[in-house]
Structure 1
Amino acid sequence: MTLTLPVTRAVTPEPATIGELGRMLARLEWTLLDFSRRELVAGALAAIPGGNVRFHYVVEGAVEVSGGDSPLRLAAGDFLMLPRAGAHRILATEETVLASGELEAATAAGVPFVLALPELLVACGFVVREPHMGPLIETLSHEYGGMRAGTCVMASRIATIIASAAVRAWAENGCAPDQWLVRVSDPHIARALAAMQQSPGEQWTVDRLAHVASASRTVFAERFREVVGDSPSRYLTGLRMDQAKQLLGDGRLSVGEVALRLGYGSDVAFSRAFRRHTGTSPASWRRESAMAS
């Protein structure tokens, strides 16, 4: 089976996410270890060894990348980053020009960033979203391996811009998992988020969450709002309401059982919170969900 890239839509990130991503990209620098520009005839197969962080950009044509669970199909203008690259193969499904490289994080701040990225980071339609990146990749082709002073430095800086733009496009396309940046920027807040996500029905208080995060109550509350963009209580309510919709839609639990599972002391308290969040009652939402399915 071939994995075809899904159609993604641009999303508008929250201001807190924009700021956090910008701060992370500002601290991230890459060293370019290797770069090549291949012209492949249809049917040609290239074996790529494992490495640090590898990337492939399809200048022209189309390829299939295999080595994981399913082959991944890339078309002209698509960019693929493999943050923990294992050995893989690239099959040209038509005449193709492929730009490929190997990177490593040049600063200590880059290591947790790389670890937080997925196994496959795909910026589909990269050249459409970032039209200036195509010429920049061509510039990298000319700069890498040159004999001029500072060639290695220049190539690494160009590669840093390209990789950063790919991560930004990936995030703006809505492909990034929820709170992925928090794992990089603040592991203490990340622990509190993980605790709420795993057990949204627990009676979480700011004091308990601050203890999980190994921080004082005041510092935790301020840092949580800065990183997440909301208060702990509002974030927890959002988690509970998302799970409530799933449980109500499933239909196997009564409204009272859903309320109990999500930590509400009564049906009335749960129904009030649900109506405030969705604009309708749990029973009405369940009926409308059943009719729509």
Structure 2
Amino acid sequence: MAAVQRLQSERIAAPRASFAKQAPPGKCQSWRTKARLRTFAMIWGRSCGTITPMDALSHLLADVRIRQAVFVRTRLGPTGQLRVSEAGQPSFHLVTQGRVWLDPMDGSAPVLLEAGDVAFIPRGSAHRLCGQDNLQQLMPPIDVRPHWQAHGVQAGPVDAMPPGSLEVVGRTLSGAFQIEGVTSAWLWGGLPPWLTLQWGAKGVPQWLMIGLTYLEQELSRDRPARQAIIDRLGDVLFIQSLRSYLVADGARGPSGWLMGLKDSMVSRVLGAMHRHPAHPWTLAELASEGCVSRTVLAERFSQLLGVPPLTYLTSHRMHLAARRLRDGRQGVAEVAQQVGYQSSAAFAQAFKREMGCSPRDWRAKAQAEVGEGQGSSSTRMITSS
């Protein structure tokens, strides 16, 4: 990062020095020099410092939506354990009372979660919640996933407690959901297999308490648009989780968009791509947005995101086009222009390389899936007793 900052300083300083030579102290600058200075200030002012990681995160997640969220309340005793079998579906656990231990089942030590803390499992890998960190003294596990798959409202929480015991050491609101708007490989590729957020370290945040109260109200009554409201509350929880993890000290992940956002230069480039996907970007223009040379941009971008800048841009354009094709309100040629393609044939070829089928086939398949989901989706909640 120090080397990148030096390059930025040298690149900014050099043009300023050349302009200074053209206008000696005490002499009036020519109109041409003044115009060049105004152009320089405009370009560098736009490129350096106007896009923060949070701005870029807004653009990256603008079209992400939670769908078909399911919830289950759990209670754990001192020797209880709840297992979530692997299914490739994102899941989370919010501790609402007491404390529990997350065992990622990857060889790492269990992690303590207290009231207000959240564990997020982006790729839906197998894991378990435990009443204590001594895993050798736990009772046989209870699988939570079948309860998520059950339809309708059930009478009570999922209990992981010894027979006859009433001692509860922790309660959670656990859930799973589907993501609409991006491919899961792109989104989850930037996150570690599991992550925890210590929101409860200074007490349960007020926004979380309000959100949970609102969620309880929606789940307790069968009213119009209930599923839509619950999914939108899921959006808030999901995006807040990503934001908290992004700004957390020491947050790390594999190569991907998350690590790109944590780099000020790459985040500016990502923000430019996502703000103006139809612009005919060149590597030189993108380097200007990042205030670095083309070589530095190519190396840093590839290191953090795993692909070169223009490869990422093509992928982003195709996924943006896929979302607009699914909506069905625009023709293929119109969508092609909106993502930077003047030729429908060139767009169709690029789309097929990225998505595996033609734009028209993608639209037909996506709209059929949306129709099926609208006919069968329902909110599923296991209420607490």
Query: RCO greater where, 1 or 2, for CA within 8 Å and sep 6 or more?
Result: 2
Work out the CA distance in 2 between the residues paired with 1:85 and 1:141. Answer: 25
1:135 aligns with 2:210: yes
The residue type equivalent to 2:245 in the other structure is: W
Contact 1:37 1:141 in 2 (8 A): no
Contact 1:54 1:101 in 2 (8 A): yes
1:6 aligns with none
Report Cα offsets for 1:31-73 as digits up to 9, x if no partner.
1431112232332211222231001111121111222222222
TM-score by length of 2: 0.44
- Output aligned runs, 1:233-248, within 5 Å: 235=296
Secondary structure (helix, strand or coil) at the match of 2:91 reads: strand
1:103 aligns with 2:177: yes
1:167 aligns with 2:205: no
Q: Give the CA deviation at 1:143.
A: 2.4
Aligned residues: 198
> Which one of the candidate residues 39, 55, 59 is aligned to 2:92?
55
Secondary structure (helix, strand or coil) at the match of 1:132 reads: helix
Secondary structure (helix, strand or coil) at the match of 2:284 reads: helix
% of aligned pairs identical?
19
Work out the CA distance in 1 between the residues paired with 2:191 and 2:282. Answer: 27
Work out the CA distance in 2 between the residues paired with 1:153 and 1:76. Answer: 27
Secondary structure (helix, strand or coil) at the match of 2:78 reads: coil
Contact 2:98 2:170 in 1 (8 A): yes
- Output aligned runs, 1:82-161, within 5 Å: 82-93=121-132, 95-108=169-182, 112-125=186-199, 128=202, 130-144=205-219, 146-161=221-236
Structure number, greater radius of gyration: 2
1:181 aligns with 257
2:114 aligns with 75
Q: Give the CA deviation at 1:137.
A: 2.7
CA distance 1:50–1:234, shift in 2 (3 Å):
same
CA distance 1:96–1:142, shift in 2 (3 Å):
farther
1:232 aligns with 2:271: no
Report Cα offsets for 1:101-125 as digits up to 9, x if no partner.
1011112366522332221122222
Secondary structure (helix, strand or coil) at the match of 1:139 reads: helix
Secondary structure (helix, strand or coil) at the match of 1:27 reads: coil
Work out the CA distance in 1 between the residues paired with 2:86 and 2:50. Answer: 36
RMSD of equivalent CA atoms: 3.7
TM-score by length of 1: 0.57
Work out the CA distance in 2 between the residues paired with 1:43 and 1:21. Answer: 41
**Uncovered stretches (5+) of structure 1, i.e. residues with no partner:** 1-12, 194-215, 240-293
2:71 aligns with 35
**Uncovered stretches (5+) of structure 2, i.e. residues with no partner:** 1-48, 133-167, 270-279, 301-385
Q: Give the CA deviation at 1:90.
A: 0.7
> Which one of the candidate residues 43, 46, 53 is aligned to 2:82?
46
